[in-house]
Amino acid sequence: MTTWQVYLLADRLAFMNKPLNMHRKRTNSVTRETSQANVYPLEAIEQRVTMMALLGMDITEELKAYRWRLGVHRDELLKSGSTNLVKYKNVMQRLRILEKAASKKQ
């Protein structure tokens, strides 16, 4: 939720292609039990895409990531048999909007 804000406020960025941490997934770990939708929240990318668009930045790759996250949320809602029909309809509507916009560009 905050990393993209730090990047946009930074005067300089450095990239180091070295693994500096390690993440293990154990059978009883929280990350193994949590849904992908919780790992990839929509709110964070929606805020990022909005700010980048307002700044006139290229959001092509961000929109691809957003489309992917919407798919993750759709799949998780279907898999869990969620009764949250409103959330599912919102996700599907956003996917249709993005698909329609993409088809107009072609």
Q: Average pLDDT in the 82-88 region? A: 84
pLDDT for position 80: 82
Examine the pLDDT at 31 and tell me if it is beyond 70: no
pLDDT for position 32: 64
Contact (Cβ atoms closer than 8 angstroms) between residue 73 and residue 63: no
Examine the pLDDT at 75 and tell me if it is beyond 70: yes
Q: What is the pTM of this model?
A: 0.75
User: How big is the CA angle at 82 (ends 81 and 85), to the nearest 5 degrees?
Assistant: 125
Structure tokens at 76: 């998780």
| Residue of 102, 13, 101, 4 lying closest to 51 (CA atoms) | 4
Q: Average pLDDT in the 28-33 region? A: 65
Examine the pLDDT at 56 and tell me if it is beyond 90: yes
- The pLDDT tens digits of the residues spanning 5-16 come to 898 899 998 888
pLDDT for position 28: 72
